[in-house]
Structure 1
Amino acid sequence: MVAAASKDVSIEEKFAVPPKVLYQALLSADDLTRMALGAATQMDATVGGKFSLFAGGVCGENVVLEEPSKIVQKWRFAEWADDVYSTVEIRFIEEAECVTRIELKQTNIPGEDKFGNPGAYERCLHGWKGNFFDRMEKVLGYPRERG
C-alpha cells in the first residue's frame, strides 16, 4: 500500500493587538489551556522545550523562538505514526500600531494517520482556525481585523 502524499496548510489572520501579545499567548500554558477550554496543556517555552496540547492530543517541540516575530515547532497529533512530525512556522508581522498579521504555515502533514485513516490535513486546517484563531478572539479577547 502506498502512503497518501503529505500536504501543507497556510493561513493568514489579522488581530488588533501587538505581535508580542500573540507570540506570548501561543507559548503560554495558561493561555493555551484557556483556548482549549480547560484541556490539559504543558508548554516549555524554550528552544528544545516540549509541549503537549489538548490533553496530549497534540505534542511537539519548539525549534525556533524569535520573540516577537517567529515560532517554529515540530508538531504532531497523537494518532500519527510515532516518527511523523510536521513543521509549524508562525510569523507575527506588525502591519500598523497594534495590528498584527499572523502567517501560519504547517508543512508535511501526513495523508493519513497510523491507522490508515485520511483527514489529517482537514483536521489541522479546522483546528488552527477553530481551536486557535477563533478562540484567540473569543476566549482571550484579542479582536480580529476584518478586511
Structure 2
Amino acid sequence: MAKWGEGDPRWIVEERADATNVNNWHWTERDVSKWSEDLLRKLLLDVKVENAEGRCAVTEVTEIEGEASCNNRKGKLFFFYEWSIKISWEGTETTTGVKGEGTVKTPNLSEENRIEDVDIIVSSKQDHESTLLLQLMNTVGTEEIRNVFATYVTTMKSEFTQGMILSSQNAVSTEHGGFHADRVYQQTDGIAAPVVSKATTVGVKIPTCVVTLSEKFQACPEDLYQVFTREEMVQAFSRAPAVVKAEKGGQMLMLSGHVTGQFIELVENSRIVMKWRCRDWPDAHYAIVTLTFLDRTSETELRLECRGVPASEEEATRDGWRRYYFESIRRTFGFGASLF
C-alpha cells in the first residue's frame, strides 16, 4: 500500500495521456443489457420442437426484464446477468390436428444459477389444452430453451472478453495451429481473451496434427456453401441454436457452445477459412479450418483441411466432422447418402 500522500501508480489514470488501465487494475464495466435482450429474443424465436405426437414453436417473447454487464477487476472477468423471461408457444398434434398454445416462464436466469438449475415453467391455456403438446414442451421444449440459455451465456463471454483484458505480465501464450503465433492470451475463469503483445511468449506447446477429409455431396457448390454460412441452415443440420456471422472477423458458435470460432476468409461458393475449436480443447487453442468447394458437374466435392488439431484429438475431430457435419447435412438437406 502506498504511503499517505503518495499516489499508487496503478490508480493514476487521469495523468496518463492514453488513460490506460494499467495492468487491468481498475474496475471497468460494460453494459451488455441491450445486446443480451436482442440475442435472447432472436434465439428464443428460433425454438421449434417436434416428435411423433406433434410439433410446437415459440411465437413471441412477451416479456424480458433484467440486465447484464461484463466487468474487469485486477485482470479477472466477471459476468453479471439476471433475467426474467416469458414467451408464448403454439403447436399442432400430428394425428388429430388439435391445436394448443401456452406460455413458458423463466424467472431466474442469472449467473447465480447453473443452466440446468434455471426454472422453466411451461403451461397451456385452458381453452387450448392439449396434453400431448404440453408434454412435448415440458420435455423437448424445455431442453431446447436450456440450450438457448447456454448459447446466450457462451456467446456473451466470447463476444465481450476481447478488449476487456489488456496485456499484462501475467499473460500466457499457447500454440494454436499457426494462427497469430504472436498473440498472447489472458486466462480468466476458463475464458481465453486474445490480446496483442510484444512480450516474450511463455507456456507449453502441445503436439498438433492436420486432419484432412474429402466428401462428395449431391448439390451444387452454391447450395453447399450456404449450408455453412446461413445461420438457419446451420441450426437445421446441427439441430441446436447457432450464431453465424458469415463475414470476415464474424463469430461462429454452434452445438450449444461446444464449437466456436471466427471467419477469417470467405470466397463465395468456393472457399471458407475459419479459426475453429472444440470446448474441451486446451484453453485458447484454435485450429485453422479450410473448406474448399469443388464443382464436379453433377455433385460437389468438399475438401476439409483442419490444421493445428491437438494430436490427442485427431480421431475425435475426424469422427466429429463426419458425424455432426457431413452425415447430418446429408440427412437434413437430402444431399446424397453415400460416403467415399
Question: Does the pair score TM above 0.5?
Answer: yes
Shift of 1:88: 0.4
Shift of 1:3: 5.8
| 1:123 has 2:299 as partner | no
Q: How many residues align?
A: 137
**Higher helix proportion (structure 1 or 2):** 2
Residue of 255, 261, 265 corresponding to 1:54: 255
Superimposed CA distance per residue, residues 43-74 of structure 1 (whole angstroms, 9 cap, x where no aligned partner): 00111100101010010000010010000000
Q: Distance in 2 between matches of 1:122 and 1:146?
A: 17
Q: Is the 2:331–2:337 contact (alpha carbons within 8 Å) kept by the matching residues of 1?
A: no
Which 5+ residue runs of structure 1 have no aligned equivalent? 112-117
Q: Distance in 1 between matches of 2:253 and 2:339?
A: 31
Q: Is the 2:271–2:293 contact (alpha carbons within 8 Å) kept by the matching residues of 1?
A: yes
Over the matched positions of the two proteins, sequence identity in percent amounts to 27
Q: Is the 1:40–1:56 contact (alpha carbons within 8 Å) kept by the matching residues of 2?
A: no
Q: Distance in 1 between matches of 2:328 and 2:245?
A: 21
| 1:137 has 2:330 as partner | yes
Residue of 177, 188, 209 corresponding to 1:7: 209
Which 5+ residue runs of structure 2 have no aligned equivalent? 1-203
Greater gyration radius: 2
AA partner of residue 301 (structure 2): R
Q: Normalising by structure 1, report the TM-score.
A: 0.86
Residue of 305, 317, 340 corresponding to 1:105: 305
Q: Distance in 2 between matches of 1:15 and 1:78?
A: 28
AA partner of residue 300 (structure 2): T
AA partner of residue 27 (structure 1): T
Q: Is the 1:8–1:106 contact (alpha carbons within 8 Å) kept by the matching residues of 2?
A: yes
The alpha-carbon distance between structure 1 residues 91 and 27, as it changes in their structure 2 partners (threshold 3 A), is: same
Q: Distance in 2 between matches of 1:43 and 1:79?
A: 21
Shift of 1:81: 2.5
CA RMSD of aligned residues (A): 1.7
AA partner of residue 237 (structure 2): M
Residue of 42, 45, 63 corresponding to 2:243: 42
Q: Normalising by structure 2, report the TM-score.
A: 0.38
Of the two structures, which has the highest relative contact order with CA contacts closer than 8 Å and spacing of 6 or more? 1
